[in-house]
Amino acid sequence: MANMTLGIIGGTGLGEALGALGAGQEHRLETPFGPTSGPIVTTEVGGVPVALLSRHGPGHALNPSRVPYRANIWALKSLGVTHILASGAVGSLREELQPRQLVIPDQVIDKTFRRAGTFFDDLAVHVEFAAPFCNGLRSALVKASTGLPTRVHQGGTYVCMEGPQFSTRAESELHRSWGASLIGMTVMPEARLAREAEICYALVALPTDYDCWRPHPAHVDQAKLIEEILGNVKVATQNAIELIRRAIPHVVAAAEKPCPCQSALALGIWTDRSLVSTETRRQLEPILGKYLR
C-alpha cells in the first residue's frame, strides 16, 4: 500500500515508553471533536512513518471515559495514518492468560455507555463490525511473536466496561460465564471509530492481574498487590514494545494487500449524499471526503 503510515496508541505505562521508538515532530491538531489526548509525535521506525499517541495524555491525566476517542482517531486519519497498533492494560478472566504475557484479541463485547461511539451524528452510516480487529494486522502481530521472551496468546474476547471503577465479583464471574477472556476499559469506541475511519486496527492486550474472580492470597495486603500489578504493567509494557517493534516489517508486508477495513464505508453510507450538509462535509473531510465528492 502506497503512503502507509502506522499509528501506535499506548495505554497504561506504554504511553511514556513509546518515546523509546524514536524522537520526532509534535503535532497539536484542532479537530471537530475537540483536542486530542495529547500531542501526536510523528517519526520513523526502520524507515516506516509512525505516529505515536498516548491514549490517556501526559501524566495519565484522562480516565477511560474522558479519553477523546473521536478526536484521536480523526487526528490520526488527518495525518495519513492507515494502520493502528494499539495496546492497553487489561484484567485476565482466564487462568491460562497470565500477567506479563500478551494477548491479541479477536472479539469485543462493548459495555460502555458514556462515550460518543460514532463520527456520524448527522447522517446514517452503518459499517460492518463482525470482526472488530483487522485480520491482516493480527496476523502481523502473530508472526512477530515468534521468539519473543513471553507467551503471546492468539484470540480472545475483550469485554470493554465503562469504569473507572473495577468490576464487582458478580460482574467478573458473569463475564467469565460469557466466555470472555479479558476485561478492560479502553478498546471501545476506539476500535469502532478506526473502522469508521477505514483504518486497520489491532490490539496488543497486557494482562496485569486476574481481575477479582480469582481471590488474592490472604497474606498479600492492598499496597503489595498494587506494587505487584505495577510491576506486571512494566514488564508487559516492555514485552509489548518489543512485539510492536518486531511487527512493523510484517505490517508493511500486510499493507501491500487489499484489506476490507480500508473500504468499510463503501456500502455503509445510507443517507442521500445530496442531504449531507456543507458543515458535515467539512468536518468529516478526512473520513468521508472520497465518498462525497
pLDDT in tens, 137-179: 999 999 999 999 999 999 999 999 999 999 999 999 999 999 9
Q: Does domain 6-292 have CATH number 3.40.50.620?
A: no
188 in a known ligand binding site: no
Cα dihedral 108→112→113→116 (10° resolution): -80
Q: Is 56 annotated as a binding residue?
A: yes
Instruction: Indicate the SS3 state at residue 148.
Output: coil
- Residues 59-91 pLDDT 10s: 899 999 999 999 999 999 999 999 999 999 999
pLDDT classification of 12: cutoffs 50, 70, 90 = low
For the CA atoms of the chain, what is the radius of gyration? 19
Which pLDDT score, from 0 to 100, does residue 223 have? 82
| Secondary structure (3-state) at 209 | strand
DSSP 8-state class, residue 65: G
Burial category of 54 from C-beta neighbours within 10 Å (exposed 0-12, middle 13-18, buried 19 and up): buried
Exposed / middle / buried, residue 279 (Cβ in 10 Å: 0-12, 13-18, 19+): exposed
In whole angstroms, give the CA distance from residue 269 to residue 127: 8
Label residue 22 left, alpha or beta by phi (over 0 means left) and psi (-120 to 50 means alpha): left
Find out whether 221 is annotated in a ligand binding site.
no
Residue 34 region by backbone torsions, left for phi larger than 0, else alpha for psi between -120 and 50, else beta? left
Selected catalytic residue, list 121, 122, 209, 272: 209
Count of helices and strands (H, E) across the chain: 8, 11
Angle among Cα 195, 84, 97 to the nearest 5 degrees reads 95
pLDDT of residue 122: 95
Domain ranges in the chain are 6-292
Q: How many CB atoms are located within 10 Å of the residue 262 CB?
A: 17
Instruction: Report pTM.
Output: 0.95
For residue 209, indicate whether it is catalytic: yes
Residue 127 clears pLDDT 70, i.e. is over it:
yes
Q: Are strands 48-54 and 6-10 parallel, antiparallel or unpaired?
A: parallel
186 marked as part of a ligand binding site:
yes
From the candidates 106, 121, 122, 211, give the one annotated as an active-site residue.
Answer: 211
HSE on the CB side for 56, CA within 13 Å? 22
Cα first-last separation, the chain: 23
* Predicted pLDDT at 221: 76
- 121 marked as binding residue: no
Question: Residues 87, 242, 228, 69: what is their CA dihedral angle, to the nearest 10 degrees?
Answer: -10
Q: What is the tens place of the pLDDT at every residue in 184-232? A: 999 999 999 999 999 999 999 999 999 999 987 767 777 887 888 888 8
Cell 465518498 belongs to residue: 291
The answer to the question of whether 12 is labelled as a binding residue is yes
Whether 211 is a known active-site residue: answer yes
- Which cell is 65 given? 471515559
The residue behind cell 492497553 is 88
DSSP state of 257: S
β-partners of residue 43 are: 50
pLDDT, position 52: 92
Contact 73, 194 (CB under 8 A): yes
- How much of the chain, in percent, has pLDDT values that exceed 70? 94
